[in-house]
Amino acid sequence: MFSEKFVLADRVLKVAPSPTLAVNAKAKALRAAGADILNFSVGEPDMPTPAHVCAAGKKAIEEGRTRYTPAAGIPELREAVCAKLKQEQGWEYKPEEVQISCGGKHGLFNIFQAVLNPGDEVLIPAPYWVSYPPMVQLAGGTPVIVPLQQDRQFDIDPAVVARYATSKTKAIILNSPSNPTGAVYSLAALSEVAKMAYEGGWLVVSDDMYEELYYGEGKVPHILHADPRLKDQTVLSNGVSKAFAMTGWRIGYSIGPREVIRAMNKIQSQSTSNPAAPSQYAALAALTGPQDFPHQMREAFLPRRAFFVESLESIPGVSCVAPMGAFYVFPNFSAYYGKKFKGTVIDGSVALADYFLDEAQVATVPGAAFGADDFVRFSFATSLTTIERGMERIKQALAALQ
């Protein structure tokens, strides 16, 4: 039994566990017990890691590359990140402006630990990825939630950003394409936000993890396209998890001002040290080898995306913005709130997600986890057959509500 002599830190008591991981764990437990669970909660591609990437990881092990590396990551991988940004975006960075971390989430955690002091405010557009507010809180900062609207396709609204900004604003987080909405911020809106950030001296944290999964033409609009002057105020966060189906390899990378990266390296050297060496060599193969895998993944996702949106829009009372990136749909189910099943009232997204799991055996993530209780997130990183079966179950479950 836990002794009363030991008191947990206040910062931990303020933070909830990741709801997406919790739902996924519950779905796996039910499936292990024999239930036919269709899991739409997990945020990872359903394709295997490319063979040449796996081969590079195996080769690293066979060649004994299993020792400590520099805390910031192997030089070759940091150089590859710089080459990628130069080739794809025309942005010039040096290896000392790059940190390799144990996944993109770890890199974001390092960023906030490096730059935030108590009282610093961070603007977080909502719906947001579930981990942003807790990471800000754990670094002593204050999350300031900036609501985005469904009728604007969840585009960032400069007027709303301005309304929530204060003299305490230290940073703003941008995630485009977005988890959970799949929204992509317009260049026009980003230009106005960029002006505010530049004049206010805010740090821009640009989470670009889904940049390769964009369903529009050309490149994803980016705040550094909108205003290149922000380069010295921007930290880019990315990784190989989504683009190369390497979620379990745990390699992310951050790129930004040398002073910020140097501070992040201090933190990493005193916490995790370097990311796993074989994983770094696998990531190196991903960034420097054939680049057709992300395109193949986009092509595979397109029919799933189309079917999901069409099916959801066909349900009475449900609306869904077609995602322009990532692999999620974020439909609005609020028309069903207040309805009942066997005496239990569906009073929000948590209750609805529980109902879907218990009665329809479909695992989703409640929108409340993303700061948007009217919605529920589904991942379409699964087969079209599974999506078809899942949507039929969802329709039946909603029809059963009184």
Question: Over the stretch 337-350, which tens digit does the pLDDT of each residue have?
Answer: 999 999 999 999 99
pLDDT (average), residues 173-182: 98
Its pTM stands at 0.95
Asked if pLDDT for residue 1 goes beyond 60, the answer is: no
At 167, is the pLDDT very low, low, confident or very high (cuts 50, 70, 90)?
very high
pLDDT (average), residues 205-221: 97
Tell me the percentage of the chain whose pLDDT exceeds 70: 98
pLDDT of residue 226: 97
Q: How many other β-carbons are positioned within 10 Å of the β-carbon of residue 55?
A: 13
pLDDT of residue 21: 72
Asked if pLDDT for residue 400 goes beyond 60, the answer is: yes
Long-range contact set of residues 237-240: C-beta below 8 Å, sequence gap at least 24: 237/104, 237/107, 237/108, 237/111, 237/205, 237/206, 237/207, 237/208, 237/209, 238/104, 238/207, 238/208, 238/209, 238/211, 239/101, 239/103, 239/104, 239/107, 239/209, 240/283, 240/286, 240/287
Tell me the percentage of the chain whose pLDDT exceeds 90: 91
Q: Which of 43-47, 166-170, 222-226 has the lowest mean pLDDT?
A: 43-47
Question: How many Å apart are CA 378 and CA 383, to the nearest integer?
Answer: 13
pLDDT of residue 308: 98
At 391, is the pLDDT very low, low, confident or very high (cuts 50, 70, 90)?
very high
Contacts of 192 (CB under 8 A, 6+ apart): 158
Question: How many Å apart are CA 110 and CA 104, to the nearest integer?
Answer: 10
Question: How many Å apart are CA 217 and CA 57, to the nearest integer?
Answer: 33
Question: How many Å apart are CA 391 and CA 331, to the nearest integer?
Answer: 12
pLDDT of residue 4: 57
- Model pLDDT for residues 52-109, shown as the tens digit of each residue: 999 999 999 999 999 999 999 999 999 999 999 999 999 999 999 999 999 999 999 9
Q: Which of 125, 150, 186 is nearest to 321 (CA)?
A: 150
Token digits of residue 127:
């719906």
Question: How many Å apart are CA 185 and CA 190, to the nearest integer?
Answer: 7
pLDDT top residue among 169 and 42: 169
Asked if pLDDT for residue 353 goes beyond 60, the answer is: yes
Question: How many Å apart are CA 77 and CA 318, to the nearest integer?
Answer: 45
Asked if pLDDT for residue 316 goes beyond 80, the answer is: yes
Q: What are phi and psi of 265, to 5 degrees?
A: -65, -35
pLDDT of residue 5: 61
Residue pair 349/373 in contact (Cβ under 8 Å)? The answer is yes
Q: Which of 128, 137, 135 is nearest to 176 (CA)?
A: 128
Question: How many Å apart are CA 57 and CA 75, to the nearest integer?
Answer: 17
Q: How many residues does the chain have?
A: 402
Asked if pLDDT for residue 304 goes beyond 70, the answer is: yes
